[in-house]
């Protein structure tokens, strides 16, 4: 994994905590949440304040996520919103934390100037002892305050100010006035500078969880289902009509189609389908030849075509299916009939335009895991597990590709692969704002 770390593909974009002041604030928050502290004088944290170094020190990678539920967090700076979430147990957690930080950015900026903000993502489930707990998770709400309780104190002061201004004899209440003065010394002027965080809660009906071998739960769709990467028998008592494991490709394909969750890449609006499919073919080619003692990095398109000609008989079925699809897309070739039993089927799809597109693309990345770019973008935990088992040749190719082709423009790559254009914008792009251009 050192190659990934050095290239910034693992533990990248973490926030460095090095000043004694921030370390002391972190320890106060850590003690407040867990009763533990760190002896480290500098470390890196993710969006939730989790540090892999502290996890190693405490021999507990879940020290802020006991039992893998109700993730706790420590905010030292609003810059953490750009960091990844490590040791994620739910696909929704990072998005919830980022939205919380962005919605409360000015308040959090003021609060973290003096103290750490500690909190928790609360979902009413406190353990995952049985699969039934998966269905008990309905909403996630956030509770947060500074370690000194500044928000709670500000709320107390606001209540007392209301009493002072509205009750007839409050002007003569020396005790009330003394309490207001004492609280104001801790919180500042809450009338002119209110200290508050928005009460926020989030629906969690469709999500991925790392529990029970990895599950994709879709409840808020027309035809609900659960798809598991692990043992299906563990989940069969759940009151869900459809439970599939990853081997049931035809049933998963029908589920995605019936709920209108996917679209063919070759027919998607506003994408270079040929380029996307050719790149997937390269990844499949590399996977097939990675054990052949070949140098696979820094290969030109001509080099890749030569490899295909030389090793055509060794390439898997999905490579040839995608080649036929590229021929249709770019050369008016015959439309290839691709059933869900074809190994290439899920490589040809992407999520359609809906609120759970990230979740669906995550599922598709597991069903088409030779596409290392999509796997890295959509399902990092699975990417790291598979990377550990790859040959040195494939590791070298993957790291070189991701650092030179993907990391340079992550936003552009994601938009090109998964972005959706509105029909109006698409029409304008094709014909111009005043109609078709006449020759």
State the average pLDDT for the chain: 87
Q: What's this model's pTM, rounded to 2 decimal places?
A: 0.86
Phi and psi dihedrals of 316, rounded to 5?
-75, 170
Task: Confirm whether 167 is domain-assigned.
Answer: no
Count of structural domains within the chain: 2
Does 287 lie in the same domain as 144?
Answer: no
Does 381 lie in the same domain as 294?
Answer: yes
Average of per-residue pLDDT across 207-235: 95
Query: What pLDDT does 162 receive?
Result: 63
Antiparallel, parallel or unpaired: β 225-228 and 243-245 = parallel
Domain that holds residue 372: 261-422
**Per-residue model confidence as pLDDT tens digits over 31-87:** 999 999 999 999 999 999 999 999 999 999 999 999 899 899 999 999 999 999 999
Does 199 lie in the same domain as 309?
Answer: no
H or E stretch covering 73: strand 72-75
Q: Locate tokens 């994601």: which residue? A: 414
Task: Confirm whether 325 is domain-assigned.
Answer: yes
**Per-residue model confidence as pLDDT tens digits over 91-147:** 999 999 999 999 999 888 888 888 899 999 998 778 888 999 999 888 899 988 888
Query: What pLDDT does 176 receive?
Result: 60
Query: What pLDDT does 47 receive?
Result: 97
Does 418 lie in the same domain as 286?
Answer: yes
Q: Which residue intervals of 259-316 are DSSP H helices?
A: 273-289, 301-310
Percent of the chain with pLDDT over 70: 86
Does 287 lie in the same domain as 199?
Answer: no
Does 127 lie in the same domain as 275?
Answer: no
Considering only CA atoms, which of 61, 59, 49, 39 is closest in space to residue 147? 49
Does 40 lie in the same domain as 131?
Answer: yes
Which residues, in sequence order, are bridge partners of residue 72? Answer: 120
Does 282 lie in the same domain as 365?
Answer: yes
CB 382 within 8 A of CB 361: no
Does 310 lie in the same domain as 199?
Answer: no
CB 225 within 8 A of CB 242: yes
**Per-residue model confidence as pLDDT tens digits over 282-316:** 999 999 998 777 777 777 778 888 888 888 888 99
Task: Confirm whether 428 is domain-assigned.
Answer: no
Does 289 lie in the same domain as 409?
Answer: yes
DSSP character for 104?
T
CB 244 within 8 A of CB 252: yes
């Amino acid at each position: 994994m050192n190659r990934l770390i050095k290239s910034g593909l693992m533990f990248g974009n973490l926030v460095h905590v090095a000043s004694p002041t921030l370390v002391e604030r972190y320890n106060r928050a850590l003690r407040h949440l867990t009763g533990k502290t760190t002896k480290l004088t500098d470390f890196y944290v993710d969006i939730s304040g989790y540090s892999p170094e502290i996890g190693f020190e405490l021999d507990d990678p879940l020290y802020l996520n006991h039992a893998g539920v109700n993730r706790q967090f420590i905010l030292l700076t609003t810059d953490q919103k750009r960091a990844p979430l490590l040791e994620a147990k739910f696909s929704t957690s990072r998005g919830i934390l980022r939205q919380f930080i962005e919605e409360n950015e000015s308040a959090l900026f003021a609060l973290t100037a003096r103290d750490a903000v500690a909190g928790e993502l609360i979902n009413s489930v406190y353990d995952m002892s049985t699969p039934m707990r998966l269905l008990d998770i309905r909403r996630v709400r956030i509770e947060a305050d500074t370690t000194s309780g500044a928000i709670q104190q500000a709320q107390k002061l606001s209540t007392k100010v209301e009493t002072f201004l509205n009750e007839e004899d409050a002007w003569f209440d020396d005790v009330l006035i003394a309490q207001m003065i004492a609280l104001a010394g801790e919180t500042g002027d809450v009338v002119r500078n209110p200290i508050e965080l928005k009460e926020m809660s989030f629906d969690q009906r469709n999500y991925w969880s790392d529990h029970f071998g990895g599950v994709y739960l879709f409840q808020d769709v027309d035809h609900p289902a659960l798809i598991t990467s692990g043992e299906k028998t563990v989940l069969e008592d759940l009151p869900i009509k459809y439970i599939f494991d990853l081997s049931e490709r035809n049933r998963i394909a029908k589920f995605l189609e019936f709920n209108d969750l996917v679209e063919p890449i070759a027919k998607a609006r506003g994408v270079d389908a040929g380029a996307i499919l050719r790149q997937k073919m390269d990844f499949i080619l590399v996977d097939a030849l990675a054990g052949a003692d070949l140098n696979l990095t820094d290969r030109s398109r001509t080099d890749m075509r030569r490899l295909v000609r030389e090793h055509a008989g060794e390439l898997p079925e999905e490579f040839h299916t995608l080649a036929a699809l590229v021929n249709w897309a770019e050369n008016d070739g015959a439309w290839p009939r691709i059933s869900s039993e074809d190994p290439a089927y899920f490589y040809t799809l992407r999520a359609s335009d809906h609120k759970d597109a990230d979740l669906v693309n995550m599922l598709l990345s597991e069903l088409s895991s030779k596409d290392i770019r999509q796997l890295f973008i959509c399902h990092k935990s699975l990417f790291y597990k598979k990377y550990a088992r790859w040959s040195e040749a494939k590791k070298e190719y993957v790291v070189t590709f991701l650092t030179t082709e993907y990391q340079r423009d992550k936003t552009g790559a994601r938009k090109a692969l998964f972005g959706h254009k509105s029909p109006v914008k698409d029409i304008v792009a094709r014909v111009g704002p005043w109609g078709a251009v006449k020759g």
